[in-house]
Amino acid sequence: MIIGSVSEDIKVEKRVALTPEILKKYKTLGLKICISKGYASHIGFSDSEYQNEGVEVLNNKEEVILKSNILIQMGIPSNDDLKLLKENQTLIGVLNPYNNEEKLKNLISKKVNCFSLDLLPRITRAQSMDILSSQANLAGYKAVVDSFSIFEKAIPMMMTAAGTISAAKVLVVGAGVAGLQAIATAKRMGAIVYATDVRMASKEQVESLGGKFLTVEGADNLETEGGYAKEASIEFKKKQEDLLKETLKKIDVIICTALIPGKKAPVIIKKDMIEEMQSGSIIYDLAASQGGNAEFTKPNEVVDYNGVKIVGEKNILNKLPVSSSNLYSKNVFNFINNLYDKEKKQIDLNFEDEIIDKTNVRFNGN
């Protein structure tokens, strides 16, 4: 059984699915690995580091895809690469079925097994495979560090002979994994932190990290069985807007992390709210890839509106490719370890296993 992985388009995605530190674990399963030449050189991992662990480095992506039984990637491969996949091969990655339905239907029609790790169920047994959590943790941390580097004032309170500098006030929109890490990071750096979320279950987590939770009446039922936020009612949105509009007058930095799986990100920070903010404030929008939580967000651009800088970050983890790749490669190994039958030395499509069943990409039950 051969595991393969090929280079991504590094202009879009710098992360890789295999890092040198995970290779020994694949060996313990008796799996062979091949990669394309220069696979991770852009993030400092040389081909020789892989070869020293017994990895075969092939000349090009085509050779790797044709030779592999299982192809593991970060995102969905290019159309040219997908054409090379054939019956009984397995593709594992963050395939984003909501946006790549046609590509995935074509693969499934060729009897390629497709597993999308963004569909993992939120169950205890899947925690070691949970790529959304591992990547979101890093995203929340980096968003705070980046936004503070743009903000032109000190973050912690400072008492000097010349006077006192007040601590920066931060609002985190969305208290999921990224949001909670943002709260923890901002708090450690000395900011006063507020947070809002449609799920009342988040209140205790926010407060345990030292944040102040902005409570909107009626938020206690806006959570799916899987633990994700679901779309709010018009009435709830109006209450949230009124609360936010008043709060934002004193906020220096907003970190936006609110996403609904498979849907456009909810626009929470509206034009009239931004107009109430102080000049020099920062809105750092991690939801930019799905439209953004702020009204003026543009992916990979900084928009200046009345002195408020709105940063639209499409893929923040390209700024932390080594750390995020190391975590992702461990998540993928744990998934394969669950999927691979060690005795039969083959993929075990056991759909009674909730992890395998939920991540296997099918449309209309097929």
Q: Which residues are catalytic?
A: 122, 127, 130, 133, 228
**Helix, strand, coil % (nearest 5) of the chain?**
40, 20, 45
DSSP-based three-state secondary structure for 264: coil
Q: Is residue 208 within a helix (H) or strand (E), and if so which, with residue range?
A: helix 202-208
Q: What are the two backbone dihedrals, phi and then psi, of residue 365, each rounded to the nearest 5 degrees?
A: 80, 0
How do beta strands 2-5 and 32-36 pair? parallel
- Residue pair 94/75 in contact (Cβ under 8 Å)? The answer is yes
Beta bridge partners of 294: 269
Phi, psi dihedral angles at 305 (to 5 degrees): -120, 110
Question: How far apart are alpha carbons 222 and 159 in whole angstroms?
Answer: 42
Q: If you count DSSP H runs as helices and E runs as strands, how many of each does the chain have, helices first?
A: 12, 17
93 Cα distance to chain centroid: 13
Would you tell me how many other CB atoms lie within 10 Å of the CB of residue 363? Answer: 10
Pairing state of beta strands 282-285 and 340-341? unpaired
Of 32, 43, 33, residue with least CA distance to 8: 43
Given a contact cutoff of 8 angstroms between Cβ atoms, the answer to whether 311 and 285 are in contact is yes
The helix/strand/coil state of 36 is: strand
Q: What is the DSSP letter of 35?
A: E
Look at residues 48, 99, 93 and name the one whose alpha carbon lies nearest to residue 325.
93
Supply 255's token pair.
Answer: 């970190």
